[in-house]
Amino acid sequence: MRAADSLSIVRRHTIACTRCPELRRYCAEVAARGKKEFSGEPYWGKPLPSLGGTGARLLIVGLAPAAHGGNRTGRMFTGDSSGAWLARSLYRYGFSTTPFSRHADDGYRLKDAFITAALRCAPPQNKPTPVQLARCAIHMRAELALLRQVRVAVGLGKIGFDTMLARLRERGYALPRPRPRFAHAAEFDVSAGGTNTTITAMACFHPSRQNTNTGKLSEAMLDGVFARARDIITRGDSS
């Protein structure tokens, strides 16, 4: 079976997931009541699948869908402020087709990039529990088994970063010792034992309003991460 076909199956399983019934109820409740700003718009209200193709060399790991962002639009980092910031930065460095990600049929596509998340359902107050994260890990494990070309992996926020490292370690990638701590723009290489495969792991503040509205994360800081990712990938092409 082709990797693309296998990824389609993984995504169908993700959408149908009922491993966290409390989150399924919450997402459905949010979808039913909606938000005045989006009055009349249908909501997705289900777990979100990943975005991108199996040949991607850039992996991005976020936290979870926003209640009125991905949970509304049905696409990762779409329809909210976080998605707007990420889309602009990815576009500037050639990782997307447009500098906006507003709704599922707006023409936005990833180029050589893959976006996934630690949790696929919007959690109340954006705070997933350890049990929910553990239940949801099955989806990213299945995705990473199909991503054979990744050269740079970016974790957005501490949970995204920690989840990314945990899944890479499960794939046989050795982490530096002591274990790297989350810090914006932190960067280090992880290698798979017995192979020549190396991935550059990077940390980035999440482009949430909590960070962007307070100035903790600026567009220049976010751009710096993806400019560096592009540089690493480009240098790999020429080596």
pLDDT of residue 38: 95
Q: How many domains in the chain?
A: 1
What is the distance of C-alpha 126 from the center of its chain?
Answer: 15
- Evaluate the CA torsion angle 216, 167, 81, 112 in order and state its sign: positive
For the chain, percent of residues with pLDDT exceeding 70: 97
Domain interval for residue 210: 3-238
**pTM score of the predicted model:** 0.96
- Which residue do the tokens 């307070």 mark? 214
Check pLDDT > 70 for residue 4.
Answer: no
The count of other CB atoms within 10 Å of the CB of residue 13 is: 14
pLDDT at residue 206 in the model: 98
Q: What is the CATH number for 79? A: 3.40.470.10
Instruction: Taking residues 47-62, report their average pLDDT.
Output: 98
In this structure, how many other beta carbons lie within 10 angstroms of the beta carbon of residue 39?
A: 7
Q: How many residues would you count in the chain?
A: 239
% residues pLDDT > 90 (the chain): 91
